[in-house]
Amino acid sequence: MTKRSNWWPWLLGAWMAVVIWAAFYYAPAARGFKGESARIVFFHVPQAWVAVLAFCVNLVASIRYLRSRHPLDDARAATAARLGLVFSVLATVTGSVFARVMWGSFWNWDPREVSIVILLLVYAAYFALREAVGDPERRSSLSASYAILAFVTMPFLVFVVPRIYWSLHPDTLINARGSIDMESRMVQTLLGSLVGFTALFFWLYSLDVRLAKIRWARRERQGG
Amino acid sequence: MRASNWLSESLAVLAKDLRSELRSRVAVNAVGLFALTTLVAVAYQIGPYRIHEDDRPHLLAALLWIILYFAAASGLSRVFVKEEDAHTANTLRLAARPGAVFAGKLLFNLVLLAMLEVLVVPLYCALMGYAIAGVLPFVALLVAGSIALAATATIIAAIISRASGSGTLFAILSVPLVLPVLVFLIQGTRAAAASSEMAAVVPALQAIVSLAGVTLIAATFLFPVVWHD
Amino acid sequence: MGGRPPGVATRSTPPATCHESTSADSDNGSGRPEVFAILRAVKAVRVEFAGIAKRYGNRSVLTGLSGALVPGTVTAVVGPNGSGKSTFLNILSGLIRPTRGEVRYRGDGADLERQHWLALLGVAAPDMAVYEELTAIENLRFFARVRGLTHDDGHLAALLEDVGLARRELARPVATYSSGMKQRVKLAQAIVHEPAVLLLDEPSSNLDEAGHRMVANLVARFRLRAAVAVATNDPREMVWGDARIELAL
């Protein structure tokens, strides 16, 4: 494990540095977008993706907790949610900035904007619930239950609302991902950024889980 | 072993809650007061004439559901907290099956919502001059939406009763989950107001029914965990 | 909404579901058969607990309790205030999870599932109240119905009388009762389904001398078939125990 932790973060750091450089210099300015504003997409899209990925990790850990009742599964769920909260805030902010530059206002009620904010609200609610419960076991099982409940209703926002929305409001907004046929260099940069942000998520996640394992082991020794 | 079935046990829970509520009138007072106050405030300030014709469909639909949901929330959230406050929760936990408890409480919340809608909707339409062309589609929306809202509210009420039990926590937990339902209800109401065709509300109705179904299934699995932990 | 006990105050022959006509050593002195008598084949259920420990943060309330509640015996759980008597009973009834250890309900030589043993368990405790807006008879009717029982009001009224509530009291909301009367309703709720395992936490609390005798009689009747545990500080109750679990602070 020590060998791994020696080079892995360095590689990640180098990768992200390359991604940042590529976002500004390698990828061309997108047509149809105002000036260089499209470049934020290389960060915004992966952040939104990680926010959703974190939600999925949280779901899996929550289900595992309800079966195993092991505190580490709860720690994994909480860690994923914490990271998910951070990334959904980042995604909302970057999306908002982009919307301001492109369309002149910070908020446009685009269905995807709304769904990332709802995800943010779910994470915030998750932590509000954890704060409100004193008993550790009950805290774990209640937050796991809430996470599962939230997860089953999420697809409706992400997939169904856009379809309904379009059918009732024909004057749609262009979604922030840009046109489908991107230039190859843009695609490469975007994919590289996606890989980088995903790796970043898993690295932060593993650090936190490792810490939780150490804490738990220490509590077990003290508890006897 | 048990001679009866789950249905009669759920009805026993419902009957007990209704009888209790009839005598103490806590939820009914809170909900009714909230609804009438907001209704009167909105009707007085806005009324049928102060909204521009173009904005009427959007605003009237949205306002109706805002009044309905927030009035309901004050009553729906208490359905488990009142058991914990009265120290009857543990007695109930040992006497009744979780499925029967959830179903009974869900039915109680449905009755509460139904009574609220019967009170508020006609008054709202009269005071705000809201003409709904498709009455049957609108009623279908009300039924489906009530089930979806009650299902979400009941499972969250159970969760908060095991936490701090506060109304604020209920609001925080329920807003992200109730928002999709409200969005569809508002859109569906707009469609029902504009057209008497059932087809106009079908997209919204489909979404609401599936949301209700998914929530009920998740709640059926999650409630025993929440109840017994 | 109907179903109030019949206006006629006299109690007729005991309902068909009750059974053994005992010798007339009832505490009400009228010589009529007690509803507490259990003749119907109550399943013999044994409650086994091993290594039960409970901690709240750094505070250890219970450490390593093992043993069993055996049908046909009364186990007295004794100890000073704060020693964990109520916590222990709550762990046995499944209301609290132990930090360590497990509880098993065994009937007919096999482990019972939670939904099965819950139906065979009766608990009366200070923090387990009954519904105050309902009358005593409505409370019992609810608890019977929700447990899937089909007792009629006559049977329920008889049970309430046996725990010492006068018939005229039965139609008043429990909120108007004295604490002793409320305790009696709690006890009735605990035994309405003739449980095979009976857990009583300070059962004589709030009761007068006659009430205490009623509880003693109740425990004696249930001892015949069920596994009974009584958590108490009261020396008069401690003597009921054939077995004893002592908890320390």
Asked whether C142 and C171 are in contact (CB, 8 A), the reply is no
Range A74-79 average pLDDT: 96
Quote the CA–CA distance of C237 and C79 in Å, as a whole number: 13
- pLDDT exceeds 60 at position A206: yes
How big is the B-C interface in CB pairs under 8 Å? Answer: 79
Q: Do B229 and A138 touch (CB under 8 A)?
A: yes
Which segment of A105-119, A128-142, C19-33, C34-48 scores lowest on mean pLDDT?
C19-33
Does residue B192 sit at the A interface (CB-CB below 8 Å)? Answer: no
CB proximity A63 to B under 8 Å: no
Each residue of C148-163: pLDDT tens digit?
898 889 999 999 999 9
C143 to chain B, minimum CA–CA distance in Å? 7
Is B141 in contact with B188 (CB distance < 8 Å)? yes
Which of B54-58, B105-109, C138-142, C217-221 is least confident?
A: B54-58
**Cβ contact B88–C147 (<8 Å):** no
Predicted local confidence at residue A212, as pLDDT = 94
CB atoms within 10 A of CB C25: 10
Domain parsing of chain B, residue ranges: 6-228
ipTM of the complex: 0.91
What is the model's pLDDT at position A34?
66
Radius of gyration from C-alpha coordinates of chain B: 18
C-beta neighbour count of A196 within 10 angstroms: 22
- Where do we find the tokens 């889980």? A209
Measure the CA dihedral B203/B209/B213/B215, to 10°: 90
Confidence of residue A166 (pLDDT cuts 50, 70, 90): low
Average pLDDT, chain A: 83
Q: Looking at residues C194-203, what average pLDDT do you find?
A: 94
CB C8 within 8 Å of CB C168: no
Average confidence (pLDDT) over A103-109? 78
The answer to which of A3-12, A125-134, A145-154, A162-171 has the lowest mean pLDDT is A162-171
The whole-number average pLDDT for the span A183-200 is 88
Distance CA A64, CA B51 (A): 52
Q: What pLDDT shows up at residue A182?
A: 61
Can you give the pLDDT at residue A164?
58
Question: What digits encode the pLDDT tens for the residues C10-41?
Answer: 333 333 333 333 333 334 444 334 445 444 55
Per the domain annotation, does C27 fall within a domain? no
- The angle formed by the CA atoms of residues C153, C38 and C29, to the nearest 5 degrees, is 75
- Quote the pLDDT of residue A116: 85
Determine the structural domain holding residue C241 and report its residue range: 45-246
Beta-carbon contacts of C211 under 8 Å, excluding residues fewer than 6 positions away, are: C164, C180, C183, C184, C204
Nearest residue of B to residue A152, measured between CA atoms: B214
CATH number of the domain enclosing C63: 3.40.50.300
What integer is the mean pLDDT of C79-92? 92
Per-residue pLDDT at C109: 81
pLDDT of res. C72: 92
Whether residue B173 lies within 8 A of chain A, CB to CB, comes out as yes
What is the average pLDDT value for chain C, to the nearest integer? 83
What's the pLDDT score for residue A165?
58
Position C12 scores a pLDDT of: 36
All residue ranges of chain B with pLDDT < 50 are 1, 3
Cross-chain CB nearest to B207 (options A125, A150, A156): A156
Question: Which residues have a Cβ under 8 Å from the Cβ of B152 and sit 6 or more positions away?
Answer: A153, B174, B177, B178, B181, B215
Q: Averaged over C51-79, what is the pLDDT?
A: 91
Per-residue tokens: A221: 């020794």
Q: Which residues on chain B are in Cβ contact (under 8 Å) with A138? A: 162, 229
| Chain B residues in contact with A149 (beta carbon < 8 A) | 155-156, 177, 215, 218-219, 222
Cβ-Cβ pairs closer than 8 A, A with B, add up to 92
Residue A171 burial by Cβ neighbours in a 10 Å radius (0-12, 13-18, 19+): exposed
Nearest to C145 among B12, B24, B92 (CB): B12
All residues of chain B having their beta carbon less than 8 Å from the beta carbon of residue A168 are: 187, 191, 203
The partner residue sitting opposite B226, judged by closest CB among A132, A142, A167, is A142
Which pLDDT value is given to residue A163? 61
C195: tokens are 């449980």
pLDDT tier at A150, thresholds 50, 70, 90: very high
Residue B87 is nearest to which of C93, C97, C127, comparing CB atoms? Answer: C127
What is the rounded CA–CA span in Å between residue A93 and residue A98? 9
pLDDT over threshold 70, residue A209: yes
Quote the pLDDT of residue C42: 59
CB contact under 8 A, B229 and A137: yes
- Residue partners of B74: CB distance under 8 A and separation at least 6: B27, B30, B31, B34, B167
Q: Considering its fold, how many domains does chain C have in total?
A: 1
Residue range C94-100: mean pLDDT, rounded: 91
Give the span between the Cα atoms of C192 and C16, in whole angstroms.
15
Examine residue C9 and state whether it is found in any structural domain, yes or no.
no
